[in-house]
Amino acid sequence: MEQWKQSVLIGVILAILAGMFAAIRKEISIWIVLIIILAVIDIVFGLYRKKKEGK
C-alpha cells in the first residue's frame, strides 16, 4: 500500500475510534481531543504526500 494511503487510513481510523470512545464515555477529555488532532494532522500529511507524488 502506498505511504499516503496508509497515512490517511490510519488517521481516519484514529478519528473514528476516538469519536466512538468519547461517545461511550459521554465526555470528551483532553486525550481524546489530542488523538483527534493527531488524526487530522495525519490525514493532512497523507493528502499532501499524494499531491507531492502526483507532480
- Predicted confidence (pLDDT) per residue in 26-44, tens digit: 888 899 999 999 999 999 9
Q: Is the pLDDT of residue 12 over 70?
A: yes
Determine the 3-state secondary structure of 45 from DSSP.
helix
Q: Is the pLDDT of residue 7 over 80?
A: yes
C-alpha 13/C-alpha 10 separation (Å) is 5
C-alpha 15/C-alpha 38 separation (Å) is 9
- Per-residue pLDDT at 55: 64
C-alpha 55/C-alpha 49 separation (Å) is 10
Query: Residue 11: pLDDT band by 50, 70, 90 thresholds?
Result: very high
- Per-residue pLDDT at 8: 93
Per domain, the residue ranges of the chain are 3-54
> What is the pTM for the complete model shown?
0.82
